[in-house]
Structure formats: C-alpha cells, structure tokens
Amino acid sequence: MRAPYISVVIPVYNEAENLEPLFTRLTAVLDKLAKPYEIIFTNDGSRDNSIGLLHEFYRRRPREVRVIDFNGNFGQHMAIMAAFERVRGEVVITLDADLQNPPEEIPKLLAAIDAGHDVVGSYRKDRQDNWFHKYASRMLNLIRERTARIRMRDQGCMLRAYRRHIVDTIAASGETSTFIPALAVRYAANPAEVEVEHAARAAGTSKYRLYDLIRLNFDLMTGFSVVPLQLFTFFGMLVSVGSLLFVGFLFIRRLIVGPEAEGVFTLFAILYFLVGVGIFGLGVIGEYVGRIYQEVRRRPRFIIREVIEQTDSVKNKTADLANTLNG
Ligand code: UDP
Ligand code: MG
C-alpha cells in the first residue's frame, strides 16, 4: 500500500446526520488532489448511529478510511490525539464533522503548507455562530493572547493543517487535558493563518455548553501559562503594601483623634471583597493542583474499543488484536 501524503483527522460525536454529506464532499475534494490520502475518523462514544455509518464508509473505501472507536466520550481533543498517534501522512489536516468547516477549503491549507509553513491555522470569514459564542470567544482570545502568549486569530476554528513532525510532537506530549491548536502553535517554527469560509452547523447541536467553554479556557490558561498564579502573587503584594499603609494611617489617627468605631461597613465591604479574591485564588491554585493530580495518576487518556483499518503492515496490530477479541 502506498503511504498516504495527506491524513485527514475527524472527531465524531453524535454526528449521524452530517457524516454522509461530509464524506461525499471530503472525498470529492481529496480525490481531485490526486495524492494518496487517508481519513481517520474517531468515534468519541457517540450514542447515535455514527459508528454504523463509519463502518459503512470503511466498507466503501477500505484503502482510505480508518476508524478509531472509543470506549466512551473522551472529548474532541482526545479524539484528535488518538488519530494523531496513528497518522501515516506527511501532512495532517483536522476538520470538524459538522460541516462548519467546508472541506473545499483544504487545498488552501495545503498551499500554505507547500509554501513552507509547518502549522497552518484558519480563521472564519463570516462566523455563523450566535452573538454569545462570538463575543465570548473574542474575549477569551484576548485573555489567552495576554497570558499564554499564544497567537491564534480564531481558536474555535478546527480546520487546520500540520506538518507531520509537529503532529508527532503533539502526540508525544502526553497531556491529558489540552488544546491541540495551541500546542501546535507552541511547537511551530513558521505558523501561518488563512481565511476560510464558515457555515452554520449542518445538523444537530453544538456539543459545547457554556460550562465546557469555561472549562476549555481554564485548560488553555492553566495548561499553557502560570500567569494566573503570578497575578495572584502580585495582587497579594499590592494588598499587603496597601494594608501596611492603612495600618500606619489608622495608628496615627488613633493617636490624634482617639478611639472611633465609624466605618465598620466600609471595612466589611473591603473584607468581603478580599475574602472573595482569596477564594478565587484558591480556585486558581486548585486548577493547577487538579492538573498535576490528573497527570500523576497516569490513567490512560482515552480507551480504544476497536480500530477498523486495513491490516497490511506491522503497525496495525491493534486492529488484529481487536478483531481477535471480537471473535
Ligand atoms: N466532538 C467530539 N467529542 C466531544 C464533543 C465534540 O468528538 O465530546 C466533535 C464533534 O463531533 C465535532 C467537533 O468535535 O466534529 C466539534 O464539535 P462542535 O461542532 O459541537 O463544537 P463547536 O463547533 O460548537 O465548537
Ligand atoms: Mg461545530
């Protein structure tokens, strides 16, 4: 079998309605490129018929299609990570399954890779999301750029291309909660970004709720920088200096004016505020401690039930094993 030049990686979580049109459009684009390619789908514990459809794609194009079937829901980034561990292509492209990233834009990314860039990101031309999504992500972009110093115009756009060595480094990083585009930008020597079309989700609903978005951004901030911790140290220093001055002021006042009990509520207000900041700081430390805990437990990042792919090389032992296990 010829080694593929392009590996397309697609995480799938309850995307049954989108898979057929996605597969048709994607293979049309890739066939036109006339370069050997593979498409790796990771089924991230879908509860609809996604896995049935992926089996069907494999039956149709066994040479190009590979399917990784997870044992449960491990998240979009782990789904991509599992595929990254197995890619065979020189150039790796990630794509969402919901057709928000048109596959027709892939040649644009490949052109940028050919021009010598090792990581090619993309930003959406007219973002077809609701205003909340749009503004929340704009704000988070700003915070991320300031703290983690990762420059990405559009972190939510997963249509991206990577040179193989970048993908190998990402896969070898072994992190459990991570954000793949950010890692890639970290490892890139010569990143670029191109403008792509963006459509509304073809069918189904976004898998990310507000809580997930907040979690994701905590991961981004704490996974890529210690600035939040440093900010707290800094704030603590400021408060200490301020308090010291205040104590001095009260002491002198006591000598001049004598005892007084006014301003209790002002003091309470200040106290509450500081207690609030303190609890928040504890939470930030908790974020880091939690991540350390996750890493030291060394649990598997994801569990693969089965890999469905053509087994004609030594590399594909997993599939053999899976087949034997399934009788
Ligand atoms: N996805 C996944 N596991 C998850 C959530 C999402 O594999 O737990 C996949 C999903 O099927 C899609 C991509 O990740 O292909 C992006 O998800 P979604 O479109 O819901 O995110 P959004 O576009 O709203 O950011
Ligand atoms: Mg989407």
pLDDT, tens digit, 9 for 90 and up, residues 6-60: 999 999 999 999 999 999 999 999 999 999 999 999 999 999 999 999 999 999 9
For residue 220, being part of any structural domain is answered with no
The rounded Å distance from CA 17 to ligand 2 centre is 13
Which class for 239: exposed (0-12), middle (13-18), buried (19 or more C-beta within 10 A)? middle
Greater model confidence, 178 or 314: 178
Q: Are residues 288 and 176 in the same domain?
A: no
Q: Are residues 124 and 202 in the same domain?
A: yes
Q: Are residues 126 and 183 in the same domain?
A: yes
Q: Which helix (H) or strand (E) holds 219?
A: helix 210-224
**Mean pLDDT confidence for 145-168:** 88
In sequence order, the 6+-apart residues with CB closer than 8 A to the CB of 248 are none
Give the number of domains in the chain: 2
pTM of the model: 0.83
pLDDT above 60 (res 260): yes
Q: Are residues 61 and 112 in the same domain?
A: yes
Q: Are residues 293 and 306 in the same domain?
A: no
Q: Are residues 153 and 288 in the same domain?
A: no
User: Would the CB of 71 count as within 6 Å of ligand 1?
Assistant: no
Q: Are residues 34 and 170 in the same domain?
A: yes
Structural domain that includes position 231:
227-297
The rounded Å distance from CA 131 to ligand 1 centre is 19
pLDDT above 50 (res 101): yes
- Residue 213: per-residue pLDDT: 75
User: Would the CB of 12 count as within 6 Å of ligand 1?
Assistant: yes
Q: Are residues 112 and 44 in the same domain?
A: yes
pLDDT above 50 (res 126): yes
Q: Are residues 195 and 248 in the same domain?
A: no
Kindly state the tokens that stand for 51: 């896995």
Where residue 105 sits, what CATH number does that domain have? 3.90.550.10
Note whether 320 and 307 are within 8 A (CB). Answer: no
- Residue 16: per-residue pLDDT: 95
User: What average pLDDT does the structure give for the chain?
Assistant: 88
Q: Are residues 122 and 203 in the same domain?
A: yes
pLDDT above 50 (res 314): no
